[in-house]
Amino acid sequence: MKITFVGTGSGKTSLNQFHSSLLISSESYNLLIDAGDGISRALLFNEINFNTVDGIVITHLHPDHFAGLPSLIVQMKMANRKKHLDIFIHPSFKNVVIDFLLRSYIFPERNKFEIQYKIFNNDELVKIENDFSFIARKNSHLSGLWKYEAIYPTISFYSASLLLQSEDKKIIYTSDIGSVEDIFLFKEFSSDLFISEANHLEPTLLIEAISKIETDKIYLTHFSEDNLKSLSEILASSATEIRSKIIITEDRLSFQI
């Protein structure tokens, strides 16, 4: 399985980082996790052909995670895409995504390729193909908005962390989180790789929590330039064992596991 950090930035737009996005590649399937504002340019920067992306998982509906989807589909169309595109979405925001694309003038009748919407339910195994699958679990990233559920009953307040598996490899990706508890959402699983967002917890608290994860390597992503310095300083003063275990990512970082 190959991991590519397409973007490592936070929700704050930066000239030096694209918004957070991952490409997880099995032997025969390329899965893009999130498609926020600027994703098309981010893929170009990573030298990734738009049409090699087989499917996209949307973890939640913040603009830095899904607002670039219409533009990406248009770029695929302009690149003469023929094969279908899978979009994996939670049922609570399926209609939002479909309506967003329609209001961007992306009509099925005009596409030369089919968009196949594939629903993932909370804590349910989703088979992508063959030995490639994932489980999504609701985290507390949007908990500050839950008080608005009664006022806006048609709005989705779901945000997912992911456990991905291809053959015998497991990856845990926290996506955006809201608490230390979210770090341990998949605590019953051992993982070959742990990827944590690094923007929504105080850096000292984050490093202390993720250092307890039992895995060989932990990659930090989804951070702003503002907290990069703090993360680097805390790691520099940490024990050697922790420093060797935790890696701060950068755009275009790519490797096999």
Q: What pLDDT score does 23 carry?
A: 98
Query: On the CB side of 87, how many CA atoms lie within 13 Å of its CA?
Result: 24
Number of helices (H), then strands (E), in the chain: 7, 14
User: What's the pLDDT tens digit per position in 178-234?
Assistant: 999 999 999 999 999 999 999 999 999 999 999 999 998 999 999 998 889 899 999
- The count of other CB atoms within 10 Å of the CB of residue 170 is 19
How many structural domains is the chain composed of?
A: 1
Copy the structure tokens of residue 245. Answer: 């275990």
Instruction: Give the domain extent around 97.
Output: 2-256
**Rounded Cα gap, residues 123 and 189, in angstroms:** 13
**Rounded Cα gap, residues 255 and 137, in angstroms:** 26
10/167: higher pLDDT: 10
Cβ atoms 170, 189 nearer than 8 A? yes
Cβ atoms 31, 136 nearer than 8 A? no
Mean pLDDT of 13-29: 96
Mean residue pLDDT across the chain: 96
pTM: 0.96
The amino acid sitting at 214 is E
Q: What pLDDT score does 257 carry?
A: 92
Classify burial at 28, counting beta carbons within 10 Å of its beta carbon; exposed 0-12, middle 13-18, buried 19 or more. Answer: exposed
Q: What pLDDT score does 251 carry?
A: 97
The amino acid sitting at 84 is H
Mean pLDDT of 108-127: 97
- Residue 143, domain CATH: 3.60.15.10
Q: Where does the pLDDT of residue 167 fall: very low under 50, low under 70, confident under 90, or very high at 90 and above? A: confident
User: What's the pLDDT tens digit per position in 25-65?
Assistant: 999 999 999 999 999 999 999 999 999 999 999 999 999 99
